[in-house]
Structure 1
Amino acid sequence: MRPSATPDAVQPLRALWRRYDAYRARFVGAVVASTVNKVADVVPELLIGAAVDVVVRGDASFVGEVLGVESRYAQLGWLAVINAFVWIVESLSEYLAAVLWRGLAQGVEHDLRVEAYDHVQHLDLGWHESRPSGSTIATLNDDVNQLERFLDVGAPAILQTVLNVLLVGAVFAVASTQLLVLAFLPIPLIVIGSLVFQRRLEPLYDRVRVAVSDLSSTLSANISGIATIKAFTAEDRERERVSAVSQAYREANTDAIRSSAAFVPLVRMAILAGFTCTLLLGGWATLRGDLQVGLYSVLVFMTQRLLWPLTEVAEVLDLYQRGRASAARILGLLAVPVTVPAGSTALERPVAGRVELRGVRAGYADGPDVLHGIDLVVPAGETHAIVGSTGSGKSSLLRLVLRFDDPREGHVLFDGQDVRDLDWDSLRGSLGYVAQDVFMFAGSIADNIAYGRPGATLDEVRAAAEGAAALDFIDAMPAGLDTWVGERGVTLSGGQRQRLALARALLRDPAVLVLDEATSAVDNETEAAIQRSLRRATAQRTAIVVAHRLSTVRHAHRIWVLDAGRVVEAGTHDELLAHDGSYAALWRVQTGATADAPVAAAADVAPGPVG
């Protein structure tokens, strides 16, 4: 079960703390290690003051009184031993803190990226189609990386700064109340300035995140469409477009950097005031005999130790704002609701494969209805075709069967059960799908065929390839089934990709085979071979075929004709031709028959690959 995905709009980093409680022990360990490290880091300044005190006061020094050692040489020797021990502790604690903080950052980065990716996988297809893929990739990659950098660098820096102020403040409080007040006087100014700059930086870094998302989307889209860019000699135009988007990202970053960088000079002025007070007032007190020389040395060093790290506040604020903006975007992505959730009911085995649509009305997002009152029944074991002109609703109907979308009204039934009640293994595990736009993964041909059934044997993969009329071209390749397929299958022709996708679907041995223009990219000879294979493959299973080429579905048990999202005709090929309606008109267009020619004659002379 996923953790609650409701983001904290005010404090996204606090929301992450609540979300990943498994890392709290590591966080506490990192804080403890950093605290020990900071204490050990401050002690050498105290030892310097003690050494000066030994040199100046001799037997009456603080070290001599505490250790009971009279010799100055022995006192300095003891200070050297203590210093060596402190440096060892500091080095070990620094190593431990670095390991813990970086482990924490890497762990949260990994878990958050995987969780966000898994959530994105479960979001409905319409959500993905409504936004650029580059925007999602930017969130999963760049935003997660920004958050990791804050946890690795920014959070430890904030802790170290706070500890530094507390420890040095304690030393000043023991030494001189007056110098404590004067040395700490710049800190409220720095804090107030930090808050002012934080409010100014917040919208600036929101702009940076939007700009990097736009840039990622543009680059992703252009790389995917590189063939079209080349075909239309649009390289220069696209370079200018990428340049404009990149310039917007650059300007957004420049504005943010300019604002954060302006903070450093103000901090330096505050440091100058505090350091000057310690130098002068502490020096005068020492000259008057009110302050020991060694303690004065400690306070001078401590003033710099106190205030100088505050120059990094701007950088820490920069990391904080970037991390906060990124966390908000990631949590916003995780908060997107899954509108097509899995059901909990399993289909009874064996799955028969009966598909039925009852009074289905459907559309996309907030748009108008695409399907209007569809009633359709596909009995188990039969092959049914969905045909119609472009935009008639064929692919929309398939999306409901595959449950990429849910109907606005009505029911889609699989073996008599509403698909909304079925778990994914029962529903999609019983379906074999071949899309019109075939997607191939980077890997071997065998890997791509076995994608839906990873445990398949090599013989089963070959049998599926043969069933899809793909074995001949596979065996003709130098490496056969081990031939590497480039990203998105760019090394294959469209027809080859479609045959591999068909083999992938057949290997799954589904109860229902769903084909969306599955032979649109093959030649007539290959189409005829695939049709013969499909007749064998669908002999014992249900098949739903969307086709533009009517010759590929003329032997279907029933053909459903859609027009403007409604079923206007249904019947066999011969029945629909005899009816001389929409189907007959489409047939005449594809066969070249004249409007007044008898459709039966057209059917006799029409070329058909399936004999």
Structure 2
Amino acid sequence: MAGRNKPTTRRDPSRVARWDTGVPDARSPARYLLWIARGQLGAIAGATVFGTVWMVTLALMPALVGETINRAFARGDEPDLGAAGLGCAGILALGVVHHLSGTLRHRFSESSARTAGIRTILVLTRKIAALGSALPAHADTSAVVSVVTADIVPIGDFVRMAGRAVGALVSFVTVGGLLLGTSLPLGIIVLVGMPALTLSVGPLLRPLHRRQDAHRAVLSDLGKHTVDLAYGLRVLRGIGAERVFARRYREHSQRARAAGERLARVETLADLAQVLLPGLFTVLTLWLAARLAFAGTIAPGDLVTLYGLAGFLVLPIQTATELVDKTAKGLVAARRVVDLLAAPPGGPAEGLPVPGRPSAGGVELADPASGLVARSGEMTVVRVDDTEAGADLADRIGGYTESAVTLRGVPVTRLATPALRRTVLVVDSRTELFAGVLRDELDPGGRHDDARIRAVLDAVCATDIIDALPEGVNSRIGPRGYAFSGGQRHRLVLARALLTDVDVLVLVEPTCAVDAHTEAEMARRLSQVRGGATVVVVTSGRAFDTFADAVLRQSDGTGMEADR
């Protein structure tokens, strides 16, 4: 239909700008938390304003109730209904303001906390992507997952406390003035005694945090064994080690349970102290206030005021204690984030751009250390006797290790890492599949149609894998493609690499874990679907020799010689 709006896949620039986190301040955990807070001053300011109104209106409620009682019975036994009605209207209005401000406070607080978590996830995700293959040298998988999933919670809690903390401080000062105006002795006792008792919980926080760290470390270790047991079950059964690993998992599980029980004991004591001590002090204060009321020192309405204000003070003082606790936990979590952000990248984030591609037959890649020269648009086979030397060569070409390799005449170590990754793709046995729809896994950018995807799958002899799935290429696969065999996973990874359409493709043992017939067929078909890409095949076999433009042999792990 003419004039009808067509769907578009372009992203809204305003949404992209909103999540442009910028460069985090990772000089220290405290600076990182402040950076997170500065990034959402609007939400924090809203939470602070409405949190203050919420706290102050709650603090004024008992004072207004007490004043209403005093005015209503100021003439003795005859109540003043007009004063009582006016006071009740004021109480109702204060309650409405309290309710609305509480709702808005919660909305702003949750928004700031969740945004803090999402910004941390984005920062860490970009850092992980920049580290690339260098990530395992700085942190194992379970530790990274723990940082991304668990540590964002205390960081968000720290930001969430901002509005409550300011509101608690303002309301505490307000209540202090009301208490002193009602009864000077009781006001001094409450304002000095209650903070002292509540802050006495502080000594419990240090052992609490130590046990939290210990519990987290044990859970991280248990997570590693869980992953090993889940994904390696087939292998463990094959070598008869299933019971050994299951027993090892049970032992780690029991250690995690014991650590959790030790943590729960300290948490219980801390929570009990935070509630019990202020509560006991409130009972003592009310007992003293009741004695003053019976003695005629204070009016009955003042007793109601003191009762409400003393009970209210538990809230702001608990908030202060909670702020100390959340800040300490936030600093611990931020320390882990900062440690990961401080890891040196696998290459320069900023550097020289990748030069334009040379004409067909021009030098694309050159490795002076081995003598490798790969020409543009050609398939070069490097036959190796030492598979470790072949893997080292691939890492040098991909810029994962220091080397003198040049790409189109420029050292790869001087190229910007993002641009290098878009130009050179290394595929080896360490490459993994990810959970999700298989089609999205093979073609993340959605650039290819069904015919192209089918042609590439056919080239790597993987159509039988797809045909066996319930929904074909649209089927969902589990984490790391655990339902597939090693050979099937490798063929799917190879298909994904071919669909990226990079200029330079480095394949390390691309036909591993397949039989001789499939290997020969894959070599023939790969030469037909690679398009104009420059392909370097590092292999110990001869299946690709017939279809290669050049065959080199590396026998001593360093130098190369032409094999034909």
For Structure 1 versus Structure 2, the TM-score category normalised by the shorter chain is 0.7 to 0.9
Letter of the aligned partner of 1:210 in structure 2? A
Rounded Cα–Cα distance in structure 2 between residues aligned with 1:52 and 1:423: 75
Q: Distance in 1 between matches of 2:469 and 2:192?
A: 78
Give unmatched runs, 5+ long, in structure 1: 61-69, 360-373, 574-611
Amino acid at match of 1:126: A
Which of 393, 397, 408 is matched with 2:393 structurally?
397
Paired residue for 2:6? Answer: none
1:455 and 2:447 matched: yes
**Structure 1 residues 169-208: aligned runs within 5 Å:** 169-190=176-197, 192-208=199-215
Moved more, 105-114 or 269-278: 269-278
Do the aligned partners of residues 150 and 347 (structure 1) sit closer, same or farther apart at CA in structure 2, a change above 3 Å counting? closer
Distance 1:477 1:35 in 2: 58
The whole-number CA distance in structure 2 between the counterparts of 1:261 and 1:268 is 12
Q: With structure 1 as the length reference, what TM-score do the two structures score? A: 0.78
Q: Is 2:6 aligned against 1:6?
A: no
SS in 2 for 1:345: coil
The residue aligned with 2:521 is 529
Match for residue 355 of structure 1 among 352, 365, 372: 365
C-alpha distance in structure 2 between counterparts of 1:143 and 1:257, whole Å: 19
AA of the residue aligned to 2:51: S
Q: List per-residue Cα deviations over 1:158-186 (Å, max 9, x = no partner).
A: 45543443222111122232222112232
Aligned residue in 1 for 2:8 = none
Take 1:106 and 1:269, find their aligned partners in 2: how far apart are those partners? 33
Q: 2-side partners of 1:498 and 1:351: how far apart? A: 31
Equivalent residue number for residue 16 of structure 1: 33
C-alpha spacing 1:201/1:37, structure 2 compared with 1 (3 Å): same
What RMSD, in angstroms, separates the aligned Cα atoms of the two structures? 3.3
- How far 1:156 moved relative to its partner? 5.5
Q: 1:160 to 1:516 in 2, by over 3 A?
A: same
The aligned length equals 539
Distance 1:483 1:38 in 2: 53
CA contact (8 A) 2:72 2:83 kept: no
One-letter amino acid matched to 1:259: V
**C-alpha distance in structure 2 between counterparts of 1:448 and 1:219, whole Å:** 24
- Compute the displacement of 1:477 (Å): 6.1
Which runs of 5 or more structure 2 residues have no equivalent in the other structure? 1-20
The 1:531/1:414 distance shift into structure 2, 3 A limit, reads same
Distance 1:115 1:125 in 2: 18
**Which of 89, 96, 100 is the equivalent residue of 2:97?**
89
Partner residue, 2:311: 304
Deviations 1:440-469 (A, max 9, x none): 333455433323x53222232233334434
Where do residues 37-116 of structure 1 align in structure 2 (5 Å cutoff)?
37-58=54-75, 72-116=80-124
Question: Tell me, what secondary structure is at the counterpart of 1:454?
Answer: coil
- Structure-2 separation of matches of 1:498 and 1:256: 44
Higher relative contact order (CA 8 A, sep 6+): 2
Superposition deviation, residue 297 in structure 1:
2.6
How far residue 327 of structure 1 moved from its aligned partner, in angstroms, is: 2.5
Deviations 1:229-279 (A, max 9, x none): 333454544344333333434444443443343343486346535642553
Alignment of 1:76-475 (within 5 A): 76-128=84-136, 131-149=139-157, 151-152=159-160, 158-159=165-166, 161-190=168-197, 192-263=199-270, 264-265=272-273, 268-269=276-277, 271-273=279-281, 275-277=283-285, 279-280=287-288, 282-307=289-314, 310=317, 319-352=326-359, 354-359=364-369, 374-390=370-386, 392-403=388-399, 405-407=400-402, 410-424=403-417, 426-451=419-444, 453-471=445-463, 474=466
Q: 1:311 to 1:89 in 2, by over 3 A?
A: closer
CA drift of 1:140 comes to 0.5
User: Which protein has the larger Cα radius of gyration, Structure 1 or Structure 2?
Assistant: 1
Percentage of identical aligned residues: 23
Whether the 8 Å contact between 1:450 and 1:504 is mirrored in structure 2 is yes
Q: Is the 8 A contact 1:380 1:541 kept in 2?
A: yes
Q: Please report how far the alpha carbon of residue 18 of structure 1 lies from its aligned counterpart in structure 2 after TM superposition.
A: 2.4
SS at match of 2:376: coil
Distance apart, 1:289 and its partner CA: 4.2
Report the alpha carbon displacement of residue 197 of structure 1 after superposing the two structures with TM: 2.9
Larger mean CA deviation between 502-511 and 542-551 belongs to 502-511
Change (3 A) 1:342 1:553: farther
Q: Structure 2: how far apart are the matches of 1:500 and 1:301? A: 69
Question: How far apart, CA to CA, are the structure 1 residues paired with 2:82 and 2:366?
Answer: 96
Q: Which amino acid aligns with 1:182?
A: I
**Over residues 463-495 of structure 1, what are the superposed CA-to-partner deviations in whole Å (9 max), with x where a residue is unaligned?**
333443444664676644444444433444444
Deviations along 1:15-46, one digit per CA (max 9) or x if unpaired, are 31224423111101101101111111122211
Check whether the contact 2:66–2:304 (CA below 8 A) recurs between aligned residues: yes
After TM superposition, the structure 1 stretch with the greater mean CA deviation from structure 2, 161-170 or 531-540, is 531-540
Identify if the C-alpha distance between structure 1 residues 437 and 196 changes in structure 2 by more than 3 Å, giving closer, same or farther. closer
